[in-house]
Structure 1
Amino acid sequence: MRHPTIMPLCCLAFAALLAGCASDKPLPPPQAPKPLSGEQILRESQGMAQLGQRYKEGESMAQEGEKLIEQANQQIAEGRRLIDEGRRIMQEAEQGYGAIKQ
């Protein structure tokens, strides 16, 4: 069984295809890229060098930041160790004082 709207749609699509192929204006030929001038090559290479330099600067900053974070984490760990040790000493002193009072 055929669907009644398929045939008109196929005809319409075929007509549009024929109309597109029958265009009176031909496509322009592809143009070859223009050769670069010496100045343009120099500008582009300087731009690339600047990008490379910026990349290195960013990489160095990221590495320095990672070092600072690692140092900070070590200092935090040392601070926590000191706090724990200090509290332990305080507790021992309190226990020693309690033993003396009895």
Structure 2
Amino acid sequence: MQTDFTIRQNLIIVCVGLLLGGCASDPVPAPAPTLSGEQMLSESQGLANLGDRWQKGKQLVDRGNVLVHEGQNKIAEGNRLIEEGERIKAESEESYKNIKR
């Protein structure tokens, strides 16, 4: 009787282990559908269009980066001119005050 109980326990443990192992394994992927030549051609043209569109986008980004860089250089030059102009104005005002004295 006790061996029957032990066999049942072992059988239950094995079944639970197999059940958990089956649930934890990766599912079997569905087979890929067969494509016709026309479908393949259509998809490849779509991919080519996507590639062209991506390349146009990249060119725009590159051009924008160049413009931003040029703009930053112009801003720096403008700030330099403003500083120099402010310095010249301050010197001129100081010279005018000295002449008036």
TM-score, length-scaled by structure 1: 0.68
Tell me the matched-pair count: 85
Structure 1: stretches of 5+ with no match in the other structure: 1-8, 21-29
Structure 2: stretches of 5+ with no match in the other structure: 1-8, 21-28
Q: Label 1:97 to 1:57 Cα distance change in 2 as closer, same or farther (>3 A).
A: same
Q: Establish whether residue 52 from structure 1 lines up as the match of residue 51 from structure 2.
A: yes
Q: Match for 2:88: what amino acid?
A: I
Which has a greater percent of helix?
2
Q: Label 1:10 to 1:88 Cα distance change in 2 as closer, same or farther (>3 A).
A: farther
Q: Establish whether residue 73 from structure 1 lines up as the match of residue 72 from structure 2.
A: yes
Percent identical among aligned pairs is 41
TM-score, length-scaled by structure 2: 0.69
Deviation at 1:15, TM superposition (A): 2.2
Q: Distance in 1 between matches of 2:55 and 2:34?
A: 31
Q: Label 1:10 to 1:86 Cα distance change in 2 as closer, same or farther (>3 A).
A: farther
Q: Distance in 1 between matches of 2:81 and 2:93?
A: 18
